[in-house]
């Protein structure tokens, strides 16, 4: 048996592989002892205090099959770790039987790689739309887009009458945040950014908010909760994600640019503190005429998060950090 994990996870474990894997979606495999149990495997996959006794020399680059398995769980936004076991060709009769009954499933490595690549291209299809009057703007319309190679769905919230939109058009790329947007979590400022964007659109006479299915900077809600637990134990938001096997930011903004192109938007005033969003829009042919910062309220719960985004990800939040911390 072997445990296949990402390069981010290997690095967080303090291991330095002899060979470097430059493919983002590939990974490394770690040999497992015969008597290993599932709790130990889970610890190897995502614990912050595990020290694996395997020397770095015993690590190996993931095989094409192992890397394909890792790609599948990444696409599903599961914990990016898989258990791999080589199977003879042709498979043993027991495996043949399991495949025939559906107990086991089989997929071609090439098909997985093709699908993974296609899932990153940002292509979307408009599925449905409806007028939805909002508190901040009664003249609003929701358009749902679905990724062409997947089940992820994103919503464009179109505020105001496009005939009278300002130029450049205010635009917000907003990653879904279940805890902040819906429940007012104090661990982030997402909810305030969302409401602040909608208020600004109404003041300016229109705008577009893209509500992107990129929970937890693209790691999914389940892994976001795992990361929160690691942060309670002293890790910052970047190192917590890294411990789980993710990069500092798993989001890609090609899908956002594609939606803007579909709507017919080419010149924008981008509401963001994130330099990656500005660069991604420019790279996709969207003219970012102006950038408008969005600051929430600093408090003792979100200060470490904001500090990490400034120090580790280069976000433009220095003015927010200059605020006095409420509740301290």
pLDDT digits (tens, 9 = 90+) for 116-125: 888 877 789 9
- Nearest-angstrom CA–CA distance, 35 and 312: 39
Q: What pLDDT, on a 0 to 100 scale, did the predictor assign at position 326? A: 45
Q: What pLDDT, on a 0 to 100 scale, did the predictor assign at position 327? A: 44
Q: Do the Cβ atoms of 275 and 315 come closer than 8 Å?
A: yes
Please work out, in degrees rounded to the nearest 5, the angle formed at the alpha carbon of residue 137 by the alpha carbons of 131 and 206.
95
- Nearest-angstrom CA–CA distance, 245 and 249: 11
93 — pLDDT class (breaks 50, 70, 90): confident
Averaged pLDDT, 319-325: 75
Q: What pLDDT, on a 0 to 100 scale, did the predictor assign at position 21? A: 59
Q: In the structure encoding, which two tokens stand for residue 274, read together?
A: 């994130």
Averaged pLDDT, 167-190: 97
Q: What pLDDT, on a 0 to 100 scale, did the predictor assign at position 299? A: 93
Averaged pLDDT, 24-43: 84
Lowest mean pLDDT among 55-69, 74-88, 246-260, 287-301: 55-69
Sheet holding 2-5, edge to edge: 60-61, 28-31, 2-5, 81-84
pLDDT for residue 69 is more than 50: yes
Phi and psi at residue 270, to the nearest 5°: -90, 125
Proportion of the chain above pLDDT 70, given as a percent: 92
Annotated active-site residue 251? The verdict is yes
pLDDT for residue 149 is more than 50: yes
Averaged pLDDT, 156-182: 97
Single out the catalytic residue among 251, 291, 303, 328. 251
CA nearest to 159, candidates 118, 194, 121:
194
Averaged pLDDT, 300-310: 94
What are the boundaries of each domain within the chain? 2-118, 121-214+251-321
268 — pLDDT class (breaks 50, 70, 90): very high
Q: What pLDDT, on a 0 to 100 scale, did the predictor assign at position 20? A: 60
121-214+251-321: what CATH class? alpha beta
pLDDT for residue 43 is more than 80: yes
- DSSP codes of every residue in 245-292: T--S-----HHHHHHHHHHT--EEEEE-S-HHHHHHHHHTT-EEEEEE
Residue with tokens 């006794």: 53
Single out the catalytic residue among 9, 249, 283, 292. 249
CA nearest to 249, candidates 4, 24, 27:
24
Lowest mean pLDDT among 52-61, 191-200, 218-227: 52-61
Proportion of the chain above pLDDT 90, given as a percent: 69
Q: What pLDDT, on a 0 to 100 scale, did the predictor assign at position 275? A: 97
């Amino acid at each position: 048996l072997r445990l296949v994990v990402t390069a981010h996870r290997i690095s967080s474990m303090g291991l330095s592989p002899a060979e470097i894997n430059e493919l983002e979606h590939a990974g490394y495999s770690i040999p497992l002892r015969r008597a290993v149990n599932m709790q130990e495997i889970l610890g190897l996959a995502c614990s912050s205090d595990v020290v694996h006794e395997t020397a770095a020399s015993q690590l190996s680059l993931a095989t094409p099959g192992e890397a394909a398995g890792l790609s599948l769980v990444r696409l599903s936004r599961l914990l990016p770790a898989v258990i791999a076991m080589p199977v003879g060709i042709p498979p043993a009769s027991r495996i043949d039987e399991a495949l025939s009954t559906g107990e086991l499933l089989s997929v071609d490595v090439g098909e997985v790689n093709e699908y993974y690549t296609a899932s990153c291209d940002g292509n979307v299809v408009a599925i449905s739309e409806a007028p939805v009057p909002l508190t901040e703007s009664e003249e609003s319309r929701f358009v749902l887009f679905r990724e062409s190679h997947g089940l992820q769905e994103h919503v464009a919230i179109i505020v105001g009458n496009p005939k009278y939109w300002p130029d450049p058009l205010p635009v917000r790329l907003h990653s879904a945040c279940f805890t902040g947007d819906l429940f007012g979590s104090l661990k982030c400022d997402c909810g305030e950014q969302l409401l602040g964007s909608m208020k600004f659109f109404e003041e300016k006479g229109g705008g577009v908010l893209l509500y992107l299915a990129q929970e937890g900077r693209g790691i999914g809600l389940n892994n976001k909760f795992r990361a929160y637990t690691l942060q309670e134990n002293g890790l910052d938001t970047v190192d917590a994600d890294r411990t789980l096997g993710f990069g500092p930011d798993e989001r890609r903004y090609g899908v956002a640019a594609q939606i803007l192109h579909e709507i017919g938007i080419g010149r924008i005033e981008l509401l963001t503190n994130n330099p990656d969003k500005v660069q991604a829009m420019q790279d996709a042919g969207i003219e970012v005429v102006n950038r408008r910062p969005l600051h929430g309220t600093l408090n003792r719960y979100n200060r470490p998060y904001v500090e990490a985004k400034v120090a580790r990800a280069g976000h433009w939040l220095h003015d927010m950090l200059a605020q006095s911390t409420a509740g301290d």
